[in-house]
Structures are given as C-alpha cells and as structure tokens.
Chain A
Amino acid sequence: KAGVTQTPRYLIKTRGQQVTLSCSPISGHRSVSWYQQTPGQGLQFLFEYFSETQRNKGNFPGRFSGRQFSNSRSEMNVSTLELGDSALYLCASETGPNTGELFFGEGSRLTVL
C-alpha cells in the first residue's frame, strides 16, 4: 500500500510569491491534515480536511489556505510568502474518523529567499 505522497519535495521561492503544495493520502483515508515544522516553533498544526470540508484549523494567518478534492487529495497554498514561511510542510492522512493515528508524508521543504 502506497504511503502519503507529497509534491514537490523541495522548492525555493522569493518573498511575495505564492506556493501550492500537494498531498495524496493513503488509499482509503479520507482525512488529511497539514503541519508546519520549523526549528524555532517545532511541529504546528495548520488545518484538517475531511470530505472536502475543513473541520479544524490551527493558529495561522489567512495567507495559509487549503482544500481537498473529491478523491481526498489535498493542496495547501501560501500566498505573499515571507521569509518566516521557510519550513518543512508535512501532510498526514488518518486511518479513521479522529483516531489520532496519523500517517505522515516525507514533507515539502520550502525555502523563501
């Protein structure tokens, strides 16, 4: 069974640009969550989607947004990039409704110059 797949794995952007990251969950998993990991703040929850609906959201500005498609694939978008947005962005899919057993992808490492 394929794991959680994130693309791209690495990308470099400049301040003010926007970026879209993609996540394909494990087949059959309908819940997709996104996390940001930085050296200073550690792992922080961004948002969670289930059946194309955002059910939970972390404490991030509106520049961070996401969506989920009918096939459970998800994308997150960061607009007007800032230097502080440089981070590893991790996607996770969940085995069932709110089980807490999340399977993470390898992440997309974003560098903002």
Chain B
Amino acid sequence: DAKTTQPTSMDCAEGRAANLPCNHSTISGNEYVYWYRQIHSQGPQYIIHGLKNNETNEMASLIITEDRKSSTLILPHATLRDTAVYYCIVRLNAGGTSYGKLTFGQGTILTVHP
C-alpha cells in the first residue's frame, strides 16, 4: 500500500468547512483513497473513499487531484462532534489481497472550536 502524509494537526471554527489534505504521491493506478476518523476512545469510523473521481456522501466530500498524488477531505460545516483524528489510507480493494487490512498512519488531529 502506498504511503500517505498528513499534517499532524489542524484547527477549524465551528460551522466552517474543514479541509483536510493528504499526500499520496506514490499511489498506483488501482489503489483507492480511504478516509476514516476516530473520535476519542471509540473505534475508527469509515467516512468515504474514491479512486479518481470526486465523491460526496452525507458526511463529507473527497476531492482527488487529477494526477491522484493528493486528495482533500472536506467536512462542509464542521461541528464540535467532528473533533477527531482523521486518517487517510491508500489501498487496493476488490481484486487485491489486502483483506481486512488498513494501514493507519498517525493521522491529522482536527480540533473544531466554538
């Protein structure tokens, strides 16, 4: 799985958009970008994933650059409950042999302020 680089921490004001960057310059053509978050003392929570097109769901949007070397997770209207560690992960899905394995880095600690 390709390595990812994320900022250690970020701050965001409540109600504003939180934009979390991730660098994955060694991503291969069939690897997907996944985002998870972990709120203190809870298990990680799946947010979104994508291959090359931008994706949106009820939680967030994922913007992947055209060269796929970086991506941005966007929480459109951050709330205090979005304070968490956010993990960007790159891996193969169907067709690969990563069965169940996600390689978590250190992630970005997002703090949402009132």
Known: A48-B99, A48-B100. A98 touches B46 (CB 8 A): no
CA A106 – CA B93 in complex, angstroms?
A: 24
Contact with B along A76-101 (1 / 0, CB 8 A): 00000000000000101010111111
B44/A100 in contact, CB under 8 A: no
Known: A98-B96, A102-B102. A43 touches B44 (CB 8 A): yes
- Chain A residues with CB under 8 Å of B38's CB are 43
Contact with A along B45-83 (1 / 0, CB 8 A): 110010000000000000000000000000000000000
A15 at the interface (CB under 8 A from B): no
- Chain B residues with CB under 8 Å of A94's CB are 100
A31 in complex: contacting residue of B44, B100, B105, CB < 8 Å: B100
B100 in complex: contacting residue of A42, A92, A105, CB < 8 Å: A92
Tell me how far the C-beta of A49 lies from the nearest C-beta in chain B, rounded to whole angstroms.
8
A33/B43 in contact, CB under 8 A: no
A45/B103 in contact, CB under 8 A: yes
Q: Which label, helix, strand, loop or mixed, suits the secondary structure of the B interface?
A: loop
CA A8 – CA B107 in complex, angstroms?
A: 28
A105/B43 in contact, CB under 8 A: yes
A100 in complex: contacting residue of B42, B43, B93, CB < 8 Å: B93
A97 in complex: contacting residue of B87, B91, B94, CB < 8 Å: B94
Tell me how far the C-beta of B85 lies from the nearest C-beta in chain A, rounded to whole angstroms.
10
B44/A101 in contact, CB under 8 A: no
A102 in complex: contacting residue of B32, B96, B100, CB < 8 Å: B100
* CB closest residue in chain B, given A47: B100
* CB closest residue in chain B, given A34: B100
Known: A42-B105, A42-B106. A101 touches B100 (CB 8 A): no
**Chain A interfacial positions (CB closer than 8 Å to B):** 4, 31-33, 42-45, 47-50, 55-56, 58, 90, 92, 94, 96-107
**Chain B interfacial positions (CB closer than 8 Å to A):** 32, 34, 36, 38, 42-46, 49, 87, 89, 91-106
Give 10 A-B contacts (CB < 8 Å), ordered by A residue.
Answer: A33-B100, A42-B105, A55-B97, A56-B97, A99-B93, A99-B94, A100-B34, A100-B93, A102-B46, A106-B43
